[in-house]
Amino acid sequence: MSALAPRRTRVLALANQKGGVGKTTTAINLGTALAAVGERVLIIDIDPQGNASTGLGVDYRPLSTFDVLNGGATIGQARVPTNVPRLSIVPATIDLMAFEREAGGGGKHYRLRDRLAALGAQEEPDNATSYVLIDCPPSLNLLTVNALAAADAVLVPLQCEFFALEGLAQLLGTVEEIRVRLNPKLQIHGVVLTMYDQRTSLSDQVVEDVRRVLVEKVYATIIPRNVRVAESPSHGKPVLLYDYRCTGSQAYIQLASEVIERERRMRAA
């Protein structure tokens, strides 16, 4: 797996209105895997719970996504390094809960898009961020709308459970609405199936159903249910640092390879 040539920053929103489907875990570990092959990656934690920040061991948060969105700081000022080379994060705090209430005036849907545009203008081409991964909250609120309005594409983590397709239909409807009203360039990058349990026929049935409905939009890589993946956030580490050899780590490395390959195809189209 090799990194792409220098290019414009690509912004991917990790979104699903259902909680507990692996959005944050995927943001952390996909970001780590991309950074490991030479990409410069920025995670923007836009979930008031701040789990992406905690999961990367970022506890000190003098500036946060809330400060960025309300104009109190730039992304460059708020981003902090992590223990992973080439991976940084704009951390979240509970203050984000107030964003929807306080975001008045025109352009409230484009706050994040405008801040990212300013970041691109400030970075040197040889040191520019290649991927921005936005970890969205488990709801279709103004924070998620900001992420979708700023993104080039949406990456959808989808748990292998009974109601998976039902929630996915609602999200795809929201993406289409955002495309029409706010962001004509928005695409579905792909759906990644998470928490797959090879011991159950239900997981196999969900995989079959999702692939039948979405065909090529579903990544070939499936993220297994893995105890090392579940343990790693409590240590403030991506699973690739916590246990590189476990099945979860290897799955996220494969997913990063797929993301890069899809990027190549999308750029060539």
Q: In what order do the strands lie in the sheet with 153-159?
A: 80-81, 87-90, 41-45, 131-135, 10-14, 153-159, 187-196, 218-224
Buried b / exposed e along 115-143 (16+ C-beta atoms within 10 A): bbeebeeeeeeeeebbbbbbbbbbebebb
Confidence of residue 1 (pLDDT cuts 50, 70, 90): very low
Write the pLDDT tens digit of every residue in 239-262. 999 999 999 999 999 999 999 999
CATH number, domain with residue 92: 3.40.50.300
pLDDT at 127 > cutoff 90:
no
Q: Tokens representing 45?
A: 């934690």
| Residue 31 pLDDT grade (very low, low, confident, very high; cuts 50, 70, 90) | very high
Name the 3-class secondary structure at 42.
strand
Asked whether residue 169 is domain-assigned, the answer is: yes
4 confidence band (pLDDT: 50, 70, 90): very low
Lowest mean pLDDT among 130-144, 157-171, 230-244: 157-171
> Which of 52, 91, 14, 93 is closest to 236 using CA atoms?
52
Q: On the CB side of 171, how many CA atoms lie within 13 Å of its CA? A: 28
Q: Could you tell me the pLDDT band of residue 7, with boundaries at 50, 70 and 90?
A: low
User: Is 2 domain-assigned?
Assistant: no
Tell me, what's the pLDDT at 13?
A: 97
How many domains is the chain partitioned into structurally? Answer: 1
Task: Look at residue 4 and tell me if it is in a domain.
Answer: no
pLDDT tens for 78-119 read 999 999 999 999 999 999 999 988 877 678 999 999 999 999
Residue 65 has pLDDT above 50, yes or no: yes
Provide the pLDDT for residue 2: 46
Inside any domain, residue 5: no
Please determine, for residue 32, whether its predicted confidence score (pLDDT) is greater than 50.
yes
Residue 201 pLDDT > 90: no
Above 60 in pLDDT, residue 6? no
Is residue 97 within 8 Å of residue 139, measured between CB atoms?
no
Residue 5 has pLDDT above 70, yes or no: no
Query: In this structure, is residue 217 part of a structural domain?
Result: yes
User: What band does 267 get if pLDDT is binned at 50, 70 and 90?
Assistant: confident
Percent of the chain with pLDDT over 70: 96
Residue 49's domain comprises 10-268
Question: Are residues 69 and 111 in contact, defined by beta-carbon separation less than 8 angstroms?
Answer: yes
Q: What is the pLDDT of residue 189?
A: 95
Token pair of 145, please? 């709308």
**Cα Rg of the chain (Å, integer):** 17
Find the mean pLDDT for residues 158-177. 85
Q: Single out the residue of 39, 11, 26 nearest to residue 157, CA to CA.
A: 26
Q: Which residue has the higher pLDDT, 160 or 179?
A: 179
Indicate whether 58 belongs to any domain: yes
91 torsion bin: left (phi>0), alpha (psi -120 to 50), beta (else): beta
The reply to whether 173 falls in a domain is yes
Is residue 78 one of the residues assigned to a domain? yes
Q: What is the pLDDT of residue 123?
A: 82
Tell me the average pLDDT of the chain. Answer: 90
